[in-house]
Amino acid sequence: MKAKYGLLAILLSLFLISPLPASAAPILGGGWVVDQVNAVNMDSVGSPYAFSLLAPAYFRITDELVVNDVYKVYEGASLILTTTFFSNPVGFGDNATADAAWISSSYSHGQIILDPGLHSLRVQGNGVGGLPAHFFTRLDAVPEPATMLLLGLGLLGLGITGRKRS
């Protein structure tokens, strides 16, 4: 009987951290996912991205190397993000094309932290660079403050140990 409830708990937890079956959503920690807008100010092919989060996560979006495209991300009817033109210091190392766009100030991109819970995101684009307008999205865990503190303390400890030896 306990095994039955244990299996049920595992299946439920997998459901809660996985995209819902009808979704083309990026997967938490799964890297860049490509999508496209086929008409100006209409939902992307993969929209809506329906998923559930157990902890906060970054939703990131970047243009796919077509200058001047701008994307808007909606949760329900609310606009939550509009991409802008700025440079990021580093990419993520899992897709050279997406990373090149992410670090360039010539292409629009943006990110937002999503709270735990159910989400249904829609992406629309202006198509200025031409249609279809391709873009990448990704979903990444937000590092917990305690994790960053432990990392910092570990590095500090290594630095102190290195000084004592020399």
pLDDT tens figures, 122-143: 999 999 888 999 999 999 999 8
Domain at 25-143: CATH code: 2.60.120
CA angle (142 as vertex; 137, 144 as ends), nearest 5: 170
The residues, any chain, with a CB within 8 Å of residue 35's CB and separated by 6 or more, are 24, 44, 45, 46, 47, 123, 134, 135, 136, 137
Confidence (pLDDT) at 146:
64
CA angle (91 as vertex; 53, 44 as ends), nearest 5: 55
Band (24; pLDDT cuts 50, 70, 90): low
Mean pLDDT across the chain: 84
Q: How far apart are CA 121 and CA 53, in angstroms?
A: 13
User: What are the structural domain ranges in the chain?
Assistant: 25-143
What type of residue is 64?
A: E
Q: pTM for this one? A: 0.74
Say if residue 19's pLDDT is above 80: no
Q: How far apart are CA 10 and CA 122, in angstroms?
A: 29
Over range 52-68, report the average pLDDT. 92
Q: How far apart are CA 35 and CA 17, in angstroms?
A: 21
Q: Where are any strands of DSSP class E within the chain?
A: 33-37, 49-53, 57-63, 71-75, 78-82, 84-85, 108-114, 117-125, 133-141
Over range 34-47, report the average pLDDT. 95
Confidence (pLDDT) at 34:
94
Confidence (pLDDT) at 145:
72
Over range 107-133, report the average pLDDT. 94
Say if residue 15's pLDDT is above 60: no
Say if residue 163's pLDDT is above 60: yes
The residues, any chain, with a CB within 8 Å of residue 40's CB and separated by 6 or more, are 125, 126, 127, 131
Over range 9-13, report the average pLDDT. 41
Confidence (pLDDT) at 17:
39
Q: Pick the closest to residue 95 from 30, 19, 23, 25 (CA basis).
A: 30
Say if residue 162's pLDDT is above 80: no
- Which uninterrupted H or E stretch holds 158? helix 145-165
Confidence (pLDDT) at 25:
75
